[in-house]
């Protein structure tokens, strides 16, 4: 059953703590993305990667870090530098093809601050 798996579904962060959100895909997609969703603000791009071992900052990368060591995995770390981390985080993937730009999304991780 192909798709994108995000874990955990709910995550709580203490002050000064780094937390890592997991994203795994078995769709054999080259590109992967992290979006942040806040009520009334839509989805904003944090980081994206179009190939293994390479990634680019999106519009709101400050306070976040990523790695892309494997094609299937694109974990996101929310660092202590991110002062307002409470949000719904969505991971997505796609093929790299100008004729087909469909994003496939996971079910998201809700991050809250204790």
Using CB under 8 A as the criterion, which residues of the chain lie in contact with another protein when the complex forms? 4, 31, 33, 35, 40-45, 48, 50, 58, 90, 92, 94, 96-98, 101-103, 105-108
Q: Which is nearer to another protein, 18 or 59 (CB)?
A: 59
DSSP alpha helices (H): ranges in the chain? none
98 and 87 in contact (C-beta within 8 Å)? Answer: no
Q: How far is the CB of 88 from another protein (least distance, A)?
A: 9
Q: How far is the CB of 19 from another protein (least distance, A)?
A: 20
Q: Token pair of 1, please?
A: 């059953």
The length of the chain in residues reads: 114
> Which residue pairs, CB below 8 angstroms and at least 24 apart, start in 56-65?
58/33, 58/34, 60/36, 64/34
Q: How far is the CB of 14 from another protein (least distance, A)?
A: 24
Q: How far is the CB of 16 from another protein (least distance, A)?
A: 29
Q: Which is nearer to another protein, 18 or 101 (CB)?
A: 101
C-beta atoms surrounding 63 within 10 Å: 15
Q: Which is nearer to another protein, 57 or 70 (CB)?
A: 57
């Amino acid at each position: 059953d192909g798709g994108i798996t995000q874990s955990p579904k709910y995550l709580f962060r203490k002050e000064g703590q780094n937390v890592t959100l997991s994203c795994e895909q078995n769709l054999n997609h080259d590109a992967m993305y992290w979006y942040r969703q806040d009520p009334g603000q839509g989805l904003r791009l944090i980081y994206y990667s179009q190939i293994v071992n390479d990634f680019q900052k999106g519009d709101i990368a400050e306070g976040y870090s990523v790695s892309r060591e494997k094609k299937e995995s694109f974990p996101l770390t929310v660092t202590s530098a991110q002062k307002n981390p409470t949000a719904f985080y969505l991971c997505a993937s796609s093929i790299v093809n100008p004729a087909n730009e469909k994003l496939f999304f996971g079910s998201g991780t809700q991050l809250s601050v204790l």
